[in-house]
Each structure stands twice: as C-alpha cells, then as structure tokens.
C-alpha cells in the first residue's frame, strides 16, 4: 500500500499491485484509448483494448483484442 495526502486534507491509500491500477484506471476514465492516442503513446505496437470490458476507442477497430496482463505474484 502507498499512502498519499493532498493540500486539501484528503488522504488516500493506494494498492500498488499492477492489476489494481488497471482496474482503477479503467474505472476512472471509463474508456479505451482512441486510435490517435494509441499511435502517439504506443507507436509501432498493435492496438489493444487496455480496458478489456470496454469497447475499442474512437477510430480503433471495433474487433480489437484485449490486452493480456500478467497475473500478480502472490
């Protein structure tokens, strides 16, 4: 766990395990990258849906594969 605090007095505990970040990120943005965003951030890589439960982003192929993430080490 990672603890953070902000100037407004908000304190948060964050699970630093990778799979929790994927889940949290997808809940926060509620979408996949657009094809233009993917090309900017992951140039040369095949487009994948980083949020597997959501549709492909704007202009991306609707049948895009879901990203495969490694299972966390227990």
* 12-33 pLDDT tens trace: 988 776 667 788 889 999 999 9
Q: Which of 30, 60, 24, 62 is nearest to 45 (CA)?
A: 60
Token pair 């049948």 in the structure block, residue: 63
Domain definitions of the chain by residue range:
2-30, 31-67
The structure's pTM equals 0.66
Taking only the tens of pLDDT, the chain with its 74 residues reads 889 999 999 999 887 766 677 888 899 999 999 999 999 999 999 999 999 899 999 999 999 999 887 765 55
Residue spans of alpha helices (H) in the chain? 18-29, 35-41
What is the SS3 assignment for 74? coil
SS3 state at 48: coil
Average pLDDT over the chain, rounded to whole? 88
């Amino acid at each position: 766990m990672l603890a953070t605090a902000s100037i407004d007095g908000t304190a948060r505990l964050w699970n630093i395990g990778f799979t929790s970040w994927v889940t949290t990120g997808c809940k926060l943005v509620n979408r996949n990258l657009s094809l233009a965003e993917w090309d900017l951030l992951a140039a040369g890589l095949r487009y994948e849906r980083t949020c597997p439960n959501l549709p492909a982003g704007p202009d991306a192929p609707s049948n895009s594969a879901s990203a495969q993430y490694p299972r966390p080490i227990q």
